Chain A
Amino acid sequence: MAKMPIIDFHKLMMVFLLGGDKMLKGRHLLDPSDFSIEELSEIFDLADSIINDPVSFSEKCKGKILATLFYEPSTRTRFSFEAAMLRLGGQVIGFSEPNSSSVAKGESIADTIRTIACYADIAVMRNPKEGAPRIASMYSSIPVINAGDGGHQHPTQTLTDLLTIRSVKNSLENLTVGCCGDLKFGRTIHSLIKALGRYKNNSFILISPKELKVPEYILNEVLIKNNIQFKQVEKLEDVISQLDILYMTRVQRERFFNEEDYIRLKDSYILDNEKIKNARQDMIVLHPLPRVNEIAYEIDNDPRAFYFKQAKYGMYVRMALIMKLLGVD
């Protein structure tokens, strides 16, 4: 998000004193673009070290507490954060739905976070209202991580996607990325385009029915503005052979204006053995999960299917993120 540049003198001083190290300590993660490419590299480098030797990190957060403030149900993201903290030797407190907390009594986010900050060292928040974690960060004395705020942002999903791509492709540059499915409402896709658009020579093939195209503002403010190559197509089979990465998302029937278009196009957005046979051997298939029917189960055994490994990378990147924000590396 292009906010007004504000000079952070504390941060500048830290760069001066520490040579850039520990720059992430105490920061919040609300939007994937909150961190520079260099800072993201720091997180990914640490994640790589964790992947290579997880045991040596198993007590890094001993004595630290992560608070998980989940205002709406989420098994996947919450488990990923909890597993990340537990694997670092830390502990977890929190709520997984607001009815079981003081929120049900009408407590404001500002008051909740200020209270939680007395007990925990770092907080993760999911809230159906867009911008809720930003408010928490404004009142919080501990780092706040946005674990999804409605249809707005889900930065740790983006970090997961980037780490997966970097680990498998050994680079985040020079990639042809196919985004397939619901590109209009899918925040995961918007964040991924923004994030990969910051790296050199990436191009995008945007595969969707016309009703579910990438919003104009993403095209204008991210792709066109930065001279990033892209094309928009309707059928996956027409372009699958060109891709380094295929990022699948679900196309929901209720998003279509008429049944005729849905019937005409629905099969184009289901990846199966027939469609993947034209793909390159080193292409990888990603998906934020949960999947419904957009990837046939027969694909799961294909060596190009990376979506479950992606979930594991998600845990590792969250481990690295927690360590960096706590400054315990």
Chain B
Amino acid sequence: MLTITSIKKGIVIDHIKAGTGIKIFHNLNLDKADYKVALIMNVPSKKMGKKDIIKIENEIDIDYAVLGLIDPNITVNIIEDEKITEKRNLQLPERVINIIKCKNPRCITSVEKYINHEFYLSNKSKGEYRCIYCDEVYSVQEN
């Protein structure tokens, strides 16, 4: 039986789609953390079948745009004194700047390196973004 103790003060990122926890782990640079961090994969879940969970024993600034982009269905729980003091449901951010890169080789961002890679949410239900320069689609589901 795998046991991971609860945390006193920190953050629990819950309801992560099974298999994508590692992506979030790396995006939040948790592999370089000098505090206690746990990535728990394939945890049984009534709602999801199985899920990933990340527990962070520290106060860190979470980039909610990055998290929302990776998986808008995840929940972020803020923990104080071993209790959840705040529950945040994420959603897809309207604008995404310098998180994803445009893959269109004809896009001007492939040449002019000084500009931001910027996307706007073009279809919320499909989780689709478009590059503000060339309109190339970035699908959250496919990435």
A110-B108 contact given A4-B94, A152-B135, A217-B137, CB 8 Å threshold? no
**Contact indicator A3/B132 (Cβ below 8 Å):** yes
**1/0 per position for A105-116, CB-CB distance to B under 8 A?**
000111000000
Nearest CB of A to B47, in Å = 30
On chain A, the residues within 8 Å of B38 by CB distance are none
On chain B, the residues within 8 Å of A3 by CB distance are 120, 132
Tell me the bound Cα distance from A285 to B46 in angstroms: 62
From A131-139, A227-235, A236-244, give the one contacting chain B: A131-139
A110-B106 contact given A3-B132, A130-B134, CB 8 Å threshold? no
On chain B, the residues within 8 Å of A4 by CB distance are 94-95, 120
Option from B107, B114, B132, B136 in Cβ contact (under 8 Å) with A129: B107
Nearest CB of A to B124, in Å = 11
Nearest CB of A to B36, in Å = 39
**Contact indicator B133/A134 (Cβ below 8 Å):** yes
Size category, B interface: 20 to 34
**Contact indicator B94/A130 (Cβ below 8 Å):** no
A130-B104 contact given A3-B132, A4-B95, A4-B120, CB 8 Å threshold? yes
**Contact indicator A130/B106 (Cβ below 8 Å):** yes
Give residues 125-184 of A contacting B (CB, 8 Å).
127-132, 134-135, 138, 149-152
**1/0 per position for B112-132, CB-CB distance to A under 8 A?**
101100001011000000111
Nearest CB of A to B114, in Å = 7
**Contact indicator B122/A134 (Cβ below 8 Å):** no
Give residues 30-82 of B contacting A (CB, 8 Å).
none
On chain A, the residues within 8 Å of B136 by CB distance are 130
**Contact indicator A131/B130 (Cβ below 8 Å):** no
**Contact indicator A130/B132 (Cβ below 8 Å):** no
**Contact indicator A131/B131 (Cβ below 8 Å):** yes
Option from B95, B114, B133 in Cβ contact (under 8 Å) with A131: B133
Q: Is B111 an interface residue (CB 8 A)?
A: yes
Tell me the bound Cα distance from A320 to B104 in angstroms: 34
Query: Using a CB–CB distance below 8 Å, which chain B residues touch chain A?
Result: 94-95, 104, 106-112, 114-115, 120, 122-123, 130-137
Query: Using a CB–CB distance below 8 Å, which chain A residues touch chain B?
Result: 1-4, 108-110, 127-132, 134-135, 138, 149-152, 217, 221
Identify the 6 closest CB pairs spanning chains A and B, nearest first. Answer: A131-B133, A130-B134, A129-B108, A131-B108, A132-B108, A131-B134
